[in-house]
Amino acid sequence: MKIINLPGELDLDYSDSIMVYDYESTTELSKQQILLSRNTFSFLQEGSKEVFFDNSSYAIDSSRFLLMKSGHCLMTEKLSSDSNHYRSILFFFSNEAVLQFIRKYELEPSNFKNLFSTYSFEYDSFIKRFVDSLTDILILSPHTRKRILATKFEEIMLYLAESNGVEFLYSLISNSDNNKHQFVQTIESNKLNKLTIKELSFLTNMSVSTFKREFEKYFHTSPSKWFQDKRLEHSAFLLKYQNERPSDIFEEIGYESLSNFIQAFKVKFGVTPKQYQST
């Protein structure tokens, strides 16, 4: 599968630190490998979107928008059932723009416990007006557009920092120098997402062979065995505490048939799913 570089493959002046692009499509994407070379707001307008990053994942409709850190991700885009269309206003900005913003407004970091690669926010009236203004800016000359976008960047960041705190800002510029922690976090965050080994290796920026080698070094078992165990453990939770039926969850757990799920469950727990529920 081809890796799409954004915003590199769009018709934009890549020398600018802040850019906006009105993206429209009538073709769906399914777990497309994306390399974001800039931090990106995706202001979803039509359709739905799902993203997987190293330590977070979201599925949203047009009532929400995403803030995504530069790096590797998997992206699914589905068309709107009403218009058979997908549209998102993409707002790209560099790490340097974030650093300058933090310094200008003297935003002090706190002891953040978790710094994520993507955040999901709900639209409100302010954000809707902000996005409308971005589309208006697109008709201006490049010189004027560049100047106004610098102001619009500060506008959205100040608003989100006021309503959500500054953690997301420091997430954008954070760099993990602990490779083991970052690798393990990627695996743990995606253990129920039914990603392939190839997709997981892309998120960790490794070849498939390197990914398998690193996985066995840290988890002392094969990826297939580890993920199967975690999903079966999750199925046990759903059966026992959510009162789910085996026929309703086997696909969610990653099995193609109910009989295969029952057999695997019995091998791991010594009883069938229904027997487990009744104990």
Strands 4-6, 57-60: pairing is unpaired
What is the tens place of the pLDDT at every residue in 156-167?
Answer: 999 999 999 999
Binning pLDDT at 50, 70 and 90, where does residue 176 land? low
- pLDDT at residue 106 in the model: 94
DSSP code at position 2: P
Average pLDDT over every residue of 149-173: 95
| 3-state SS assignment for residue 47 | coil
Could you tell me if 67 and 97 are in contact, meaning their C-beta atoms sit under 8 angstroms apart? no
CATH no., domain 4-173: 2.60.120.280
> To 5 degrees, how large is the angle CA 245–CA 247–CA 248?
65
Q: Average pLDDT for residues 150-175, to the nearest whole number?
A: 94
Mean pLDDT across 256-277: 95
Domain covering 179-278, topology: Arc Repressor Mutant, subunit A (1.10.10)
Residue 131 tokens read as: 């996005």
In this model, does residue 186 exceed pLDDT 70? yes
Domain edges within the chain:
4-173, 179-278
Give the rounded distance of the alpha carbon of 89 from its chain centre. 17
What is the C-alpha to C-alpha distance for residues 222 and 213, in angstroms, rounded to an integer? 9
pLDDT of residue 11: 85
Same fold, 4-173 and 179-278: no
**Cα–chain center distance at 202:** 13
Sign of the C-alpha dihedral computed for residues 1, 71, 200 and 52 taken in this order: negative
pLDDT in tens, 200-259: 999 999 999 999 999 999 999 999 999 999 999 999 999 999 999 999 999 999 899 999
Whole-prediction pTM:
0.88
* 155 touches 130 (CB < 8 A): yes
Instruction: Return phi, psi of residue 276, to 5°.
Output: -65, -40
Angle, helix 95-104 to helix 142-164, in steps of 10 degrees: 60
**Out of 14-18, 52-56, 81-85, which region has the weakest mean confidence (pLDDT)?**
14-18
